[in-house]
A and B are shown apart, each in its own frame.
Chain A
Amino acid sequence: MKMRRLAYPYVLWMAVFTVAPLMLVAFYALTAYDADGRLFFTLQGLRNVFATDNTVAFNLFGLADLFGFNLQVPIYINVFAKSLEIALISTVVCLLVGYPAAYILAQHSRKRRGQSNFWLFLFIMPMWMNALLRTYAWLALLEPMGIVNTVLGYLGIGPFQFIYNDFGIGLGMVYNYLPFMVLPIHSVLVKISPSLIEAAEDLGADSTRTFLRVTFPLSLPGILSGINMVFMPAMTTFLIPDLLGGGRYLLIGNAIERQFMVSRDMTTGSALSILLMIFVLASMRILTKYEQESSEGGLLA
């Protein structure tokens, strides 16, 4: 008996359940069923995505307000831009909040070399919890009659509208994905050799300078993979905008979900999925390239 034959059934499985489904998304993006249930080639899905008969004002990061221009774009392009905006802002907030946390955790890990780091463990634990439950927890916390508004009410402020807006969705994303930013940065920081820092100090650099010129550049690969791990799910989630946006909010994730589950328009849904997938893979690719470059150029190459 040839042992390698044991791998063959899986190759078939993989072809059917991994490769074929992705190709079908591309296939359905370019086809539709006619009245007799026959498939025919169509560009209608792509045309719907880029339809110019239903346009809205483009205002990424409020740029249009800032510069006072009026650019009309197809509605899905605007949804895409809105998703990009919220995903980018969430990623930046994750980085700003997460980097110090990763730095402190790394200092802690170094001190307890070899032993498992309890604080790190506490950081990872929420990651294991279902994104649905985590998001729901915020919904219960932030809703108009929720606990935060009640406490603020005792203090005589509020109530505030925390959910069903950009703020709520961004908060949901930061909460869900913060550990994805902290862990890669932490694991890079822990690996930086203490002698490099000592050397910098011996050569007369103060701690700020040491951080800016030695530690931070060496942690860039961790930052890039953190950005990658936060940006991708933030760009594609449909759960967070759906629950924290109260179902009224359209980001690219729930636009796709609605095409499939509500409008039952597979063609447009597939076209949107393909475009999203290409966008996400392309941005991952660019980031990975930077990651390689920055780690090659580093001291520890």
Chain B
Amino acid sequence: MLIAAALSALLALAVLGVAAGAEMWRHRLIYFCCMIASLVLLAGGIKHLGQTPGTGPAIVLPIGLPWLAAHFRLDNLSALFMVVVNLAAAATSAYGIGYCSHLPEPRRVTPFYPLFLFGMNAVLIADDAFMFLVAWEFMSLASWLLVLADHKNAENRHAAFVYLVMACFGTFCLLTCFGLMAGGEGAYSFPAMRAAKLDGVSGFLVVLLALLGAGSKAGLVPLHAWLPLAHPAAPSHVSALMSGVMTKVALYGLIRILFDLHGEVNWAWGAVMMVIGGITAVMGVLYAILQDDLKKLLAYSTVENIGVVMIGLGLAIAFKGSGEKTLAALALVAGLYHIVNHSIFKTLWFLSAGAVITATGERDLGKLGGLAKRMPWNGVAALVGALAIAALPPLNGFVSEWLIFQSLFKGPSLPHWAMKFGVPVVGAMLALAAALAAACFVRAYGIAFLGRPRSQAAAEAHQVPASMRLTVAFLAVMCVVLGAIPVTVTDALSHVVTPLTGVQFAVSADLGWPWLSPVSSTRGSYSGTVLVMTGLGLCAVTLMLARLLGTSRLRRADAWDCGHKEDIPQSQYTGQSFSQPLRRVFCASIFAARESVDMPDPGDNRPAELKVRVIDPIWVGLYATIGRAVDFIADLVNRIQYLTVRRYLLMMFTTLVLMLLVVAVRQNQ
């Protein structure tokens, strides 16, 4: 009941947001109320996470299609995603309290923000296809409006346009997908779809359309093109929600269809999803390494992480389709764990980026530097987030990647040859993506937060308001907690996985708390808790030994730098120079990355220039081609725009005759 109240409150807040006007305290109050609503929804999610499957609260409202009331239900999977969504939403709302006054036009953000939260939560609890799609569109359109918040910037308008086109494409695919599952009678409620049997062709099409529809929202390569345009264009707390949470709602749709409604997905789809996931992960992180815009970099990193989750989901489908239910549950737990983790550390980084923009007005890495000293809170929190994204122990990102690796390593036990040879290749891609993510975030953190300030704005950066600092600190603590007590998390996740895979499963079955031992105690185990304790102990011993054997004297001096004195901060490594070796090694063939040096002749006073050319193969190869094709067809169609009335009448008549012919032929059959 509280959940329904919180959702209605969000709708009401959207209306109030319109009336907020120019007074800042009203905006702050609305964000505060959003935070309370999110916390209520979070508590609701946590409460129902461990419920016995099939006992979740349900509600039927007399709205929607005339012959189909609106069905809502909160089952275990919905509860988990409700936790994911609202944990991040509570943080971004709290952040918004301080951040809204720094926005250029807060009145274009505040009304749509609660609407966006409402849309995402409604997708999760929808129990029929109609409500699901309505809520899905709420989410898409509200976020589209938020992308357009700073509409005076032409780049943002372009981003919003591409986003709208891709959102329409995604919804179209999902609509068709649900249509196929509903069958001829139009059984749109989820229980009816679950009961229905799909024949071969429609079963195939349902999976394909679900992958296209949810995949385009989640940002799978090659459907990711809108994501790095739209996510950075929105205000930072909305970027955090779009990247950290909305992509997860898309994955929720995918899991709902593939694991719950469809029920019998062929194992080969799992193999396909793993390969797509692997490609998405590697491409995403390579794109990220090439970016100089901090928010674009983060958006591409989201693409990478979605790829990592897809590898886990694909494995789960492959195991489930081959009858290996326990391993399917393990892979699904791994994927869900990564979903939870990514929602936290990506929110953390986008909020940090927002703080950086607030403090300096810059989001170009080349103009930042030295912020760890000027903004200590954000410096520490962003470092924790970077370590988590780079999948380093003892943080949460490592645990989920560890679980994905553990389940990948069991992949070759499947009887299919495609899996035996494919899984090692996907494993190599995942490992490559993880290692490149570390390089990417050493670059992002090292350039933005360390070194000397590269611009006046960075040198004069100031602390941001308390609500913005406390939220990133909270999220950083969550990263540590979820990494240090992994078993508690996997136990909660196994409640979600049980109804989807039909098997009781605990990752810690063999050794108990706090040991993660996915298959058995002798098959490899991990304990973040023990590792953290020992590591801290060893670090303390190191510190003591160094003090005991040596001196603790310390002197501050100029940097030595091999005797070179570098006074201008521009002599430091920049984002471009940091990524140069990686660009040469990895991007020379995929992105056709080339460098050319323009060296003026002796006596010429022009400065020498280094030009870097990078071609996005997917945009140029796929999207630009489609764009040209659409233009071409539009030109052809354009000709019928200027006909005489007589010709239009003739066309209508011809169409009518053709339709009648079709009807006649069909009746005769």
Do the two chains belong together in a single complex? no
* Residues of B that sit less than 8 Å from A by CB: none
* Residues of A that sit less than 8 Å from B by CB: none
